[in-house]
Structure 1
Amino acid sequence: MPRLLIDTAKGRMASIVLALVTMVAGSTGMASQSETVEISITAQQGFQFEPTELEIPVGAEVILVFENAGIMGHNLHIPELEVMTDTITPGKTETVEFTFDEAGTYAFRCEVPGHAEAGMTGKLVVQ
């Protein structure tokens, strides 16, 4: 009979240790995934974005505010993520949200015909 009590106690201890390990691992993962970064990119006159390069932490949830300060319609496209804003008129903004799961350099561009070729490109560096 005492052996059964010892086995039961060992089982409870193992359950407690497993629960603690799970809580610690879970909370560590949650901390790294909960970061939110808000960035702004503005389409300027002269077929350019401002800024043309931004750094973003890997795994962060990104809120991108795209503003058109130009004199014609523009959009913003990140091909590798299949993220694209609508073509917006001057003075308007659009917000898109996404996450970079992998480090790297991601290009963005205006997809209005001729705009990227005229210089409306940039890059997001994810580290």
Structure 2
Amino acid sequence: MNTKIALSLTALALAASTSLAFAHGDEEHAQPRKYDPTKVEPTDFGQEGNPKKVARTIKVDMADNMRFTPSDVTVKRGETVKFVVHNDGKVLHEMVLGTKKAIAEHAELMKKFPEMEHADANMAHVKPGKAGEIVWQFTKAGEFQFACLQPGHFEAGMVGKVTVK
């Protein structure tokens, strides 16, 4: 099997194994996630947070200049934060939390499958003029990222940093 086919099959397997569906675009996404503690999955950068245990709310604005405001956020280890993500632009934007490696891998996957839809607890897809939310508990200290993985946005520098102390 040649390398190109093997890489394509690997990407498809990754998409299938992470419950990703195809249809990522300017559409409305499913109803907001309802918190279910039995479905919380720990990651290298934390886990879905319990909305009843939010310690603070952080407003993050996204704009068509491919920037987040603020672009750097500091939180305490163990803290549950609600990000209220507002799209000030005229195109769809999203905020995806992750490790630097996971964000880069996801960005590469989005290049190959730009119509991919996903609705995980660590992301909010926000139409122009609208707002979304992410409730996240940062269980591990370190430096993590948030990014917009819409085609071309990550490459244009639409990336932010979360420092967990």
With the length of structure 2 as denominator, give the TM-score of the two structures: 0.53
Alpha-carbon distance in structure 1 between the residues aligned to 2:64 and 2:54 = 33
- Ranked by relative contact order (alpha carbons within 8 Å, sequence separation 6 or more), the top structure is 2
Identity %: 30
Cα offset for 1:68? 0.2
The alignment status of 1:119 with 2:157, answered yes or no, reads yes
Alpha-carbon distance in structure 1 between the residues aligned to 2:89 and 2:146 = 17
Cα RMSD over matched residues? 1.7
Residue 66 of structure 1 corresponds to: 85
Number of paired residues?
93
Residue 56 of structure 1 corresponds to: 75
Cα offset for 1:71? 1.6
The alignment status of 1:91 with 2:139, answered yes or no, reads no
Alpha-carbon distance in structure 1 between the residues aligned to 2:140 and 2:85 = 22
Alpha-carbon distance in structure 1 between the residues aligned to 2:151 and 2:88 = 18
Q: Which runs of 4+ in 1 moved over 2 A?
A: 79-82
Structure number with higher helix proportion: 1
Matches within 5 A, 1:1-127: 36-80=55-99, 83-86=122-125, 88-127=126-165
Larger radius of gyration: 1
Alpha-carbon distance in structure 1 between the residues aligned to 2:54 and 2:129 = 29
Q: Name stretches of at least 5 consecutive residues in structure 1 with no aligned partner.
A: 1-33
